[in-house]
Amino acid sequence: MIQVLFYAGALLAGLLLSALTAALLGDPALGDLHLSYVLYVVTVAAVALGAAGPRVLKNSLSIAAAVAGVLGGAALVYIFLAQVLYVGTAMAVKHGGLAFLWNIPPTPADETGGIGPALLGTLYMTAIGAFFGFLIGFPAGIYLGEFRRELAAKVARIGVNVLVEFPTITIGLLVYALFSLLGMRAFSGYAGALALTIIMIPYVALFTAAAYASIAPAVREAAYAVTGSLYKTLFIVMRKVVARAVLVAFLLGTAKIAGETAPLLFTAFGNDYYTSEIFGVDLGEPTGALTLLIYYMAQTPYTVQNEVAWGAAAVLLWIILAVFAVARLLQRSA
Amino acid sequence: MIDIRDLKLQFDNVKVLDGVTMKIPNNMIYVIMGPSGSGKSTILRVLNRLVELYKPKIEGEVYLDGQDIFKMPLTLLRRRVQMVFQIPNPIPTLSIWENVALGPKLNGLAKSKAELKERVRWALAKAQLWDEVKNRLDAPAASLSGGQQQRLCIARALAFKPEVLLMDEPTANLDPVNTAKIEELMLELKKEMTIVLVTHYPPQAARVGDWVAFLYGGKIVEEGPVKEVFTRPRHELTEKYVTGKI
Amino acid sequence: MIKGLLASLSLVPLAIVALLITLFIAESWPAWEKYGLSLITTADWDPVRESYGILPAIVGTLVISALAVTIAAFLAISFVAVSYEFLPPRAAVVLGTTMDLVAAVPTVVFGLWGLFVLAPIMQAAQEILWRDLGWLSYNGVGPFAVEPRGGTTVLTAALLLAIMITPFAASVIREGYAAVPKEVVEAIHSITSRRWEIVRLKLAYIRQYVFSGLVLALGRAFGETVAVAMVVGGNFVNVIRALTEPGVNVSALIALQFPNAHAYVYMVPTLFAAALLLAVIGFAINATAVYFLLRR
């Protein structure tokens, strides 16, 4: 079964790659013989022989296919990252340089614009979502990790596992439905922050649970013996042991929710203006976010907005890469 | 016949074998014994070049019937020299039949489906497992007991019809009944192939072995016919080992 | 006491799930009442006549996910096999970090790149595929049977999705592959010394990790919204007949149609029905993944 998937995937990838190569080279042809035909035949032959040919060919062709897959995939990924960072940063520079970070987004009639309100929106909503998500997720995770044999923990764990994998658009809809039901205003930064909180909770809980569960029995017994109160054991002694893992979980979770779009579509909704004198952005109003800005402005027909979307993507990616790098460093030095 | 000449082996900077010379004639059970860490399992793994997985530094020469095993193609060597391990290790997700058939199939040892079936049946029968599994060849290997799994591994090795069977403490994890079955098997098999047995257990060596070599600190300290070495050990280390002091 | 507090907090996610299912059922009830099962078995999107059938989205979800997971299976297995068997350790680490990086990139950034870079190239590529392989069809239905009119099609979405979900499958498979016990490795090496056969046997040994990883990837594919919404083309009315046509999946349907849903009476409940479907199927898929992992 695994074999079938591997070779079927290789076939698909190979056909796509053949067509893409031919397309990139301008569809060259010798009379009626197109390059694409040649490439298809090569692909089909390679995959067929790799799957069912004589032993020597099976081995070498399968290895060749795997290597090609890795190279192709890696190439696509690096091209993707390089393009977003390079073109995006260039666009940000073009549209104001550093001021890009606080100017307001362009209307179709504008020549230039920035991502100010969206950046602030992302920062505020992510911060709130991360904070409250951690506040609930961390203790929940401790319970799941330390007391995992209890019935409540087993039941709770199911809920956590289900929630963590829910399509995030449903979380956004949940908050929307909830706010409508409670008669509250549907589109606001607070709604967005709530959606992000809900996404953060199970993520942090699972990581924390794993960290606490992996404390060596000897250390655990020592911790319990050193202090009489459960609270102190869990939150002070053991915390020191798992601090690094939990911090990494917090950082990765924050990066994750900073990059979410779907849950904000029907909660924060988006906003291209500064709505507050003091804070810049009023979370009680519809609020912008970097991800929302990219989503909307990429799909309009106006070049200036498309360019700002690229700039925003670069800014977002830099922020996430930075958080990712810090989390990696912390993990390594463990 | 296996001819080992002045074999030296080290991992990083730890010397595991320090100049071992051995001649193993055909159709006998050659036992290698010694305390833990003396290099016994390592010698076995040199004979089928499995040790190369762990990237050691090797000096010295090893010949199988006059051919240098380090110059032989690996696939050929592995066909002629097979191994049974201390912990039974069939591939649990594959069926009983597949575990035995895989070797011959991949190595082109059976020219037709019928030949393959016959070879698998022969190997399982020789390993004294056929009667117990003939009605459930498609069952996963994980469904067998420990003793059965070890016999399955022996069948897997036998399916190659090897010239040499390396056995690394094959009964260490089995109960006495299964141990007896496998020792009986060894005595049968030595008529058709050469068996090199590593064991921790002097009574086993006494029961099945023809010749024994004692390894200590990577060197052979004594060797000879089993009865002689066990009743009249010449080296003090041998005596200590046989009497259980080391 | 402390324990009680911790326990109650840990039940919060479960409460949220329960709340979600309840609210969605309530919100979508009018649509179920009005359309019954035809909501998910017919293909229609006519807001004016208030006639909806989300079959195109369901078919789209199945097709895009199946394609994406197949390609991702190939990429993930290739990645793990090549990392562990054919590369020097440093290169393998770089590859691994790249994978983790890809998993951290926001999906909307993938969508952006997909829309502006991938789609245009895919337009040319799909035209070639249509010209060369369009004859592979039955009654007008075939993988490349329809002339592509742009780059935003089901095929493009599937390819983009494949790149996005590969790291998730790969990290689960990688975990299993690295943990193959020494005895089994030695057994495999005594049966064969050919590299690819060794890979195949190791994969057979960690079968449940492979399936679990792929099911995990499938779950992500099902629920992916914005990247797909940006490159799939938005075809709500007809079920696709070829991969080179624009299409839609359930989550993209919700994302793309919700903004104007309030103008109509039954669109909002319909979209909530779609969301309910998404939640339930997402749950089922992940339950399967856990089941596979625990089976031994």
Q: Is A86 on the interface with C (CB under 8 A)?
A: no
Would you mind telling me the total number of residues written for chain C in this entry?
A: 296
- Which pLDDT tens digit goes with each residue over C102-125? 988 999 999 999 999 999 999 888
Q: Coil, strand, or helix at residue C174?
A: helix
Listed residue (A64, A67, A39, A37) closest to A51, CA to CA:
A64
- Whether pLDDT at A113 is above 80: yes
Closest to B197 measured CA to CA, from B104, B60, B111, B83: B83
C-beta of residue C220 within 8 angstroms of C-beta of residue C208: no
Q: Under a CB-based contact definition with an 8 Å cutoff, are residues B209 and B194 in contact?
A: no
Chain B: closest CA distance from residue C181 (Å)? 10
- The tokens 């796509």 sit on which residue? A16
Q: Are C107 and A22 within 8 A, CB to CB?
A: no
Nearest CA in chain C to A199: C13
Instruction: Tell me whether residue C291 is in a domain.
Output: no
The string of pLDDT tens digits covering residues C245-291 is 888 889 999 998 888 888 888 888 889 999 998 888 888 887 777 77
Q: Answer whether residue C148 is part of any domain.
A: yes
Neighbour count for residue A135 (Cβ, 10 Å): 15
Among A residues 142-201, those touching chain C with beta carbons less than 8 Å apart: 142-144, 147, 150, 152-153, 155-171, 173-174, 177-178, 181, 198, 201
Rounded CA-CA distance C2/C215 in Å is 37
User: Is C191 within 8 Å of B74 when comparing Cβ atoms?
Assistant: no
Structural tokens at position B151: 């016999």
| Interstrand relation of C51-54 and C43-46 (parallel, antiparallel or unpaired) | antiparallel
Measured between alpha carbons, how far is A143 from B124 in angstroms, rounded to an integer? 52
- ipTM of this complex: 0.90
- Mean per-residue pLDDT, B210-235: 84
From chain C, pick out residues whose CB is under 8 angstroms from the CB of B53. Answer: 185-186, 189
Are B75 and C194 an interchain contact pair (Cβ–Cβ within 8 Å)?
Answer: yes
- Is pLDDT at A291 greater than 50 in this prediction? yes
Q: Go through chain B and tell me how many residues it has.
A: 246
Q: Is C140's pLDDT higher than 90?
A: no
Q: How far apart are the C-alpha atoms of A242 and A233, rounded to whole Å? A: 12
> C290 in a domain, yes or no?
no
Asked if C9 lies within 8 A of A139 by C-beta distance, the reply is yes
C72: containing domain: 54-266
Q: Please, which residues 42-61 of chain B have a Cβ atom closer than 8 Å to chain C? A: 48, 50, 53
Q: What pLDDT is recorded for position A97?
A: 85
CA–CA dist A329, A326 (Å, integer): 5
Quick check: A169 and C255 CB within 8 A?
yes
Question: Rounded to an integer, what distance in angstroms lies between the CA atom of residue C273 and that of residue C52?
Answer: 11
Q: For chain A, how are helix, strand and coil distributed in percent, rounded to 5? A: 75, 0, 20
* pLDDT given at position B52: 86
- Quote the minimal CA–CA distance from C139 to chain A in Å: 22
pLDDT-derived band at A267, boundaries 50, 70, 90: very high
For residue C58, the domain's CATH number is: 1.10.3720.10
Mean pLDDT, all residues of chain C: 87
Instruction: Tell whether the model's pLDDT for residue C156 goes beyond 50.
Output: yes
3-class secondary-structure state, position C46: strand
User: Is B53 within 8 Å of C185 when comparing Cβ atoms?
Assistant: yes
Average pLDDT over residues B75-82: 88
Contact indicator for C213, C168 with CB cutoff of 8 Å: yes
Predicted pLDDT of residue B36: 78
- Of the candidates A259, A291, A285, the one whose C-alpha atom is nearest the C-alpha of residue A271 is A285
Q: Could you give phi then psi for residue B15, rounded to 5 degrees?
A: -80, 120
Half-sphere exposure of B182 (CA within 13 A, CB side): 31
SS3 at position C65: helix
Instruction: Average the pLDDT over each of A1-10, B34-43, B167-176 and give the range with the smallest value.
Output: B34-43
Q: What Å distances lie between residue C42 and A210, C36, C55, C63, C237, CA to CA? A: 45, 11, 5, 17, 10
Residue B29, strand partner residues = B195
- Report whether C169 contacts C217 (CB < 8 A): yes
- Interface membership of C131 toward B (CB under 8 Å): no
Specify the CATH number for the domain of residue B182: 3.40.50.300
A8 → closest Cβ in C14, C70, C286: C70
Instruction: Among B41, B85, B105, B150, pick the best mutation site for testing chain C contact (most C Cβ within 10 A).
Output: B85
Q: Are B146 and B178 a contacting pair, CB within 8 Å?
A: yes
How confident is the model over C77-93, as a mean pLDDT? 88
C contacts of A294 (beta carbons < 8 Å): 108-109, 111-112
**If pLDDT is split at 50, 70 and 90, which confidence band does C183 have?**
confident
Do the Cβ atoms of B20 and B4 come closer than 8 Å? yes
Contacts of A28 (CB under 8 A, 6+ apart): A22, A34, A35
Residue in chain A closest to C216 (alpha carbons) equals A165
Query: What is the helix (H) or strand (E) element at residue A48, kind and residue range?
Result: helix A35-52
Q: Which two tokens stand for residue B2?
A: 């296996």
Residue type, C111: G
- A235-238 CB contacts, 8 Å cutoff, 24+ apart: A235/A142, A238/A212
Q: Are the C-beta atoms of residues C75 and A13 closer than 8 Å to each other?
A: yes
Give the best residue of B91, B105, B149 to mutate against chain C (max C CB count within 10 A).
B91
Query: What residue type is A16 in one-letter code?
Result: L
**Residue A88 · residue C108 · CB < 8 Å:** no
Average pLDDT over all residues of chain B? 87
Q: What is the DSSP letter of C258?
A: G
Strand partners, B11: B14
Residues in Cβ contact with A79 at an 8 Å cutoff, skipping those fewer than 6 apart: none
Chain C positions in Cβ-Cβ contact with residue B157 (cut-off 8 Å): 190
Radius of gyration (C-alpha) of chain C in whole angstroms:
22
Cβ contact A169–C223 (<8 Å): yes
Q: C-alpha angle A68/A69/A72, rounded to 5°?
A: 80
Backbone torsions φ then ψ of C225, nearest 5 degrees: -105, -70
pLDDT (mean) for B139-157: 90
Average pLDDT over residues A162-174: 90
Q: What is the helix (H) or strand (E) element at residue A306, kind and residue range?
A: helix A303-332
Report the alpha-carbon distance of residue C249 to residue C229 in Å, rounded.
Answer: 8
From the CA of B75, how many Å to the nearest CA of chain C?
6
Q: Where are the alpha helices (DSSP H) in chain C?
A: 2-10, 12-35, 38-41, 55-81, 89-104, 107-113, 119-133, 154-178, 182-191, 195-205, 207-223, 226-231, 250-257, 267-294
Report d(CA A228, CA A230) in Å as an integer: 7
Contact assignment for C16 to A159 by CB distance below 8 Å: yes
Alpha carbon B124 to chain centroid distance?
A: 17
**10 Å Cβ neighbour count for A103?**
18
Q: Which residue has the higher pLDDT, C241 or A312?
A: A312
- Cβ atoms < 10 Å from Cβ of C260: 10
Reported as a pLDDT band with limits 50, 70 and 90, residue A157 is confident
Confidence of residue C293 (pLDDT cuts 50, 70, 90): low
C293–B contact, CB cutoff 8 A? no
Comparing A174-183, B68-77, C287-296, the range with the smallest average pLDDT is C287-296
Determine whether the interchain pair B153/C187 forms a contact, defined as Cβ–Cβ distance below 8 Å: yes
Looking at residue C86, its pLDDT comes to: 86
Tally of structural domains, chain C: 1
Q: Looking at the complex, report in whole angstroms how far the Cα of residue B103 sits from the nearest Cα belonging to chain C.
A: 5
Q: Does position B31 have pLDDT exceeding 80, yes or no?
A: yes
- How confident is the model over B40-56, as a mean pLDDT? 88
Determine whether A121 is exposed, middle or buried from the number of CB atoms within 10 Å of its CB (0-12, 13-18, 19+).
Answer: buried
**Do residue B92 and residue C194 have CB atoms under 8 angstroms apart?**
no
Q: How far, in Å, CA of C189 to CA of C61, rounded?
A: 42
C-alpha C83/C-alpha C92 separation (Å) is 5
More confident site: C38 or C218: C218
> In this complex, which of A3, A201, A306 lies closest to C13 when CB atoms are compared?
A201
Residues above pLDDT 90, as percent of chain C = 28
Its pTM stands at: 0.85
On chain A, the residues whose CB falls within 8 A of the CB of C95 are 70, 74
If you ran DSSP here, which 8-state letter would residue A98 be given? G
The CATH homologous superfamily of the domain defined by A116-332: MetI-like (1.10.3720.10)
Residue C85: pLDDT band (50, 70, 90) is confident
Check residues A29 and C11 and name the one with the higher pLDDT. C11
How much of chain B is in helix, strand and coil states, percent to nearest 5?
Answer: 40, 25, 35
Write the DSSP assignment of B190-228 as a string of letters.
Answer: TTTSEEEEE-S-HHHHHHH-SEEEEEETTEEEEEEEHHH
Does C89 contact chain B (CB < 8 Å)?
no
Three-state DSSP state, A196: helix
pLDDT over threshold 50, residue A171: yes
pLDDT digits (tens, 9 = 90+) for A191-241: 999 999 999 999 999 988 888 888 877 777 777 777 777 777 777 777 777
Question: Considering chain A, what is the average pLDDT of its residues?
Answer: 87
Tell whether A51 lies on the interface with C, counting CB pairs under 8 A. Answer: no
Residue C296 — pLDDT band, cuts 50, 70, 90?
very low
- Pairwise CB contact (< 8 Å): C226 & A205: no
Residues 138-177 of B with CB under 8 A from C: 153, 156-157
| Six token digits for residue C8 | 């109650």
Sign of the Cα torsion A198, C113, C281, C264 reads positive
Rounded to whole angstroms, the Cα distance separating A48 from A39 reads: 14
Taking each helix axis as running N to C, give the angle between helix C267-294 and helix A168-181, from 0 to 180 degrees, rounded to the nearest 10: 130
**CA C115 – CA B200 distance, rounded (Å):** 67
Contacts of A319 in chain C (CB under 8 A): none
pLDDT band at B198 (very low <50, low <70, confident <90, very high): very high
**Contact residues, chain C, for A62 at CB < 8 Å:** 196
Helix (H) or strand (E) run with residue B5 in it: strand B2-11
Cα separation of A223 and A246, whole Å? 18
